[in-house]
Structure 1
Amino acid sequence: MEQSTVWWLAAGALVVAELTTGTFYLLMVAVGLVAGAIAAHLGLSAPLQIVAAAVVGAGLVVGLHQMKRQRPGDPSPRADRSVNLDVGETVLIEAWNADGTSSVKYRGTTWTAIHRPGITPSVGMHRVAELVGNRLLVDPV
């Protein structure tokens, strides 16, 4: 059996494994194995084929990992407008209590509003950033 055939079979097996597990990393390793198959087609020696597969596969895995680390995470469901329709609505804060809460009229009832830590409370219009339990976490508009 040709060396390139072994590389192609191994790459195909990893693609099947990736499809069953759903990890994108196996696909990157499979691309590395394809690089090994291409190296075999070019007539490179077995050690150079292994090096080509390892460099390409490992490089893609490390690159994918770095991309995932740098991408911001998904917003919390408490702050996601598609989950909670209150997010993004505005409320009028007339006064803040000493404990950092405020009572606001919203949707026909009285709610407790809180502000983010480190932000100086101010009166006026605020936008609902997320729901924390049954409290509205608000940001100044």
Structure 2
Amino acid sequence: MEIGALWWWGAAGALLVLELLSGTFYLLMIALGCVAGGLAHWAGVAPHWQFACGAVVALVAVILLRRSRFGGRRARIDAASDRDVNLDIGATVTVTEWHDRRARTNYRGAQWDVELAPGEPEDARLYEITALQGSRLIVAARKQPEQV
């Protein structure tokens, strides 16, 4: 095996190993480009065309991956209302008195500022935390389960 073929297959193998360590599919797509360059070398194509073939295959593979569901960006979720980030979301607090849709309440052994979410009534006694904005709890009236 001559040095040109060894370079292509070695680069593809190294990229595959790095892909296993990184967990993304992008290095795998570039490894496909190296395989295409190796196949072009095996077919006897000139070196500059080998590189062009490898680059085009890698570029097309990366673009296709980017447009697929595996390579696209995940929808960003606002951390203020994400239950996976703030474990307080969904907890119940008691608010006895409102002042301009704001109040103070005791929650987890400390006094917290509470703000009523838009469109929520002030007449409920129990509220559910829907978001955290800094040290302020955003709450909505807790829905009472229906009695059967």
Partner of 1:62: 63
What's the Cα RMSD here? 3.7
Asked which structure has the greater CA Rg, the reply is 2
Consecutive unaligned residues of structure 1, counting only runs of 5 or more, are none
Against the structure 1 CA distance between its residues 40 and 135, is the aligned structure 2 distance closer, same or farther, given a 3 Å change threshold?
Answer: same
Secondary structure at 1:58 match in 2: helix
Residues 96 and 121 in structure 1, CA contact (< 8 A), matched pair in contact too: no
Residues 91 and 126 in structure 1, CA contact (< 8 A), matched pair in contact too: yes
Q: State whether structure 2 residue 101 is matched by structure 1 residue 130.
A: no
Partner of 1:85: 87
> Quick one: distance in 2 between partners of 1:14 and 1:3?
17
After superposition, the C-alpha distances for 1:91-122 in whole angstroms (9 at most, x for unaligned) are: 35565432x42334544655322245xx3342
Consecutive unaligned residues of structure 2, counting only runs of 5 or more, are 143-148
- Count of matched residue positions in the alignment of Structure 1 and Structure 2: 135
Residue 8 of structure 1 and its aligned partner are, at CA, apart by 0.7
Residue 3 of structure 1 and its aligned partner are, at CA, apart by 4.3
> Quick one: distance in 1 between partners of 2:127 and 2:33?
52
After superposition, the C-alpha distances for 1:20-74 in whole angstroms (9 at most, x for unaligned) are: 7x48333431222123223444x26245543442233112333444555541236
Q: TM-score, normalised by structure 2?
A: 0.60
Against the structure 1 CA distance between its residues 5 and 139, is the aligned structure 2 distance closer, same or farther, given a 3 Å change threshold?
Answer: farther
- Percent identical residues: 35
Secondary structure at 1:50 match in 2: helix
Against the structure 1 CA distance between its residues 39 and 111, is the aligned structure 2 distance closer, same or farther, given a 3 Å change threshold?
Answer: same
Bigger fraction of residues in helix: 1
Q: TM-score, normalised by structure 1?
A: 0.62
Partner of 2:7: 6
Q: State whether structure 2 residue 75 is matched by structure 1 residue 72.
A: yes
Instruction: Kindly provide the amino acid, as one letter, of the partner of residue 121 in structure 2.
Output: S
> Quick one: distance in 1 between partners of 2:140 and 2:50?
57
Against the structure 1 CA distance between its residues 140 and 62, is the aligned structure 2 distance closer, same or farther, given a 3 Å change threshold?
Answer: farther
> Quick one: distance in 2 between partners of 1:31 and 1:126?
55
Secondary structure at 1:86 match in 2: coil
Partner of 1:50: 51
Partner of 1:111: 112
Instruction: Kindly provide the amino acid, as one letter, of the partner of residue 27 in structure 2.
Output: L
